[in-house]
Chain A
Amino acid sequence: MISIFDVIGPVMIGPSSSHTAGAARLGKMARAIFGEPITKAVMTLYGSFAKTYKGHGTDKALVGGLLGFDADDARLKDSFAEANKKKMDIFFLESSEDMGHPNVVKFDLYNGDDSHKTIVGRSLGGGLIMITEIDGFPVEVTGEDYAIMSLHNDQPGVVAGVSGLLGEENINISSMRVFRKRRHSDAVMMVSTDGPIDQATLQKIEAVPGVKRVMYFEPV
């Protein structure tokens, strides 16, 4: 049954749970995924985001999220000035390309000339979000719980290896999904867990035969 605090809640910065609160969470998630200081952020907006972002403050909320502000942080309103202080250059582009969803944003985040990441996400409504792509790689990260995503060779034993490791660490798996682009191509595994996963465990997972890369996400 739904909690009364989901009925009268959440506490959020207006005006829109999808275009403002969701945007702030997308920004915060992108910041966490980038994991480095952001010196420049280019945000491309699609669909309804592109058409209404100035009226909804979507731009301010995205930047607020990139600065680490939560969806109920009153500073979202003034995020541009904060970004300026932090020497983060921000740019917005509008695109009419059809991304298959009405509220999509693509972040290109830079740390000087050294590193760059492209992160694509969508706002699903009611403040719910999903990161769908990291550097061209399809993902499904909602920021609702702790999650790891691994890229591995499509070979037997990988899934069991990873879930076994989590079991040994007493970390409960709340959901798990494995998918791949083609048979025997690289496979992607999404595992959500009830609690955080520490660095040592992540390293062990990375060492499971067949696993090529592991990404870890905490809730935002």
Chain B
Amino acid sequence: MDYSYETIEDILRLCQEEKLTFDQVVLRNEMNQFERTEEDVLAEIDRRLDVFEESVKEGLAIDSHTPSGMSGKQAKQLEAHVPLLLGKLAYKAMTYSIAVNEANAKMSRIVACPTAGSCGILPGTLLALAEERELSRDALRKAFLIAAGIGAVVTERACVAGAVGGCQAEVGTAAAMTAGAVVGLLGGNERQIAQAVALCFKNLLGLVCDPVAGLVEVPCVKRNGFYSVHAITAAEMALAGIKSQIPADEVIEAMNRIGRSLPAALRETSDGGLATTVTGKAIAEHVRNL
């Protein structure tokens, strides 16, 4: 049996035809394509989930700034604050996502998912949800598989690098992977997972990549926090049965087209946007003279 897929629609079809869940399709395809046993694939997932957990812890413990002075200690600051507006889950997801990205900025070990700049959203949100809802390791493995399946489609059909498609490709993909995984974790079916992907992506199209001083800190670190909440919003809508008029695969295609038509100045070159503001340029100068 061939479980290979190129589109989200392919995965949905395989779910229906084979009476499988989204994560099972992704797992079986990985086993087939790379001739690995289920045990082997799950063990590898576990190793990455371990790094997820360590990176949240390391990020929360950071008590100094990065060499540029742009980040560090923000996760700690958020943890010390009692949320006045956000619910407990969204607040924790935001805090943990920022923690992982700060750990990245401070040269800790992280898992690129799909990239280093967007490495906070998936682990931060999943681990916050796991804590709040007391989810098992096995549930997290399934969430990992769903997220990876979504990310694989975007990687194959579009792009996930800020230099190619702007931040919508990087943080956008991370958020869409997370939105789908959250729906799966809360018992949504494969159609709802696909809806979450479409809703999530649709509402961040055009997001540009303009990192200050060329470093993965501003806007990246806080952006991971913002888009974890965005992913939760998309998941909530999908779980409520809200449908995107444009199907996920077409939204992904639109994201790709938009990304490739963005000017180079807004694709990781730091030649535009926030990077060329008065303050952005001053920070870049400071970093050059460190």
For window 1-45 of A, CB contacts with B under 8 Å fall at 1-17, 20-21
Taking CB as reference atom, which chain A residue is nearest B69?
A55
Q: Are A48 and B214 in contact (CB under 8 A)?
A: yes
- For residue A102, give the distance in angstroms from its CB to the closest CB of chain B: 9
A183 at interface (Cβ–Cβ under 8 A)?
no
B93 at interface (Cβ–Cβ under 8 A)?
no
What A residues does B112 contact at CB under 8 A? 8-10, 12, 17
Q: Are A14 and B116 in contact (CB under 8 A)?
A: yes
Q: How many residues of B contact A (CB 8 A)?
A: 51
Taking CB as reference atom, which chain B residue is nearest A78?
B107
Q: A7-B114, A55-B67 are in contact. Are A14 and B103 (CB under 8 A)?
A: yes
What A residues does B216 contact at CB under 8 A? 14-16, 56
A54 contact from B33, B34, B290, Cβ within 8 A: B290
B239 at interface (Cβ–Cβ under 8 A)?
no
A-B contact count (CB 8 A): 127
A167 at interface (Cβ–Cβ under 8 A)?
no
Taking CB as reference atom, which chain B residue is nearest A56?
B215
Taking CB as reference atom, which chain A residue is nearest B41?
A4
What A residues does B155 contact at CB under 8 A? 2, 6-7
The answer for the CA separation of A187 and B162 in the assembled complex, in Å, is 38
Q: Are B152 and A1 in contact (CB under 8 A)?
A: yes
Q: How many residues of A contact B (CB 8 A)?
A: 33
The answer for the CA separation of A121 and B215 in the assembled complex, in Å, is 21
Taking CB as reference atom, which chain B residue is nearest A3?
B34
15 more CB-based (< 8 A) A-B contacts, given A5-B148, A7-B155: A1-B156, A2-B155, A8-B113, A9-B112, A11-B110, A13-B107, A13-B108, A14-B107, A14-B109, A15-B216, A16-B116, A20-B107, A54-B290, A55-B67, A55-B287
Contact surface of B with A, Cβ cutoff 8 Å: 4, 26, 29-30, 33-34, 41, 44, 47-48, 51, 66-68, 103-117, 119, 122, 144-145, 147-149, 151-152, 155-156, 161, 163, 213-217, 284, 287-288, 290
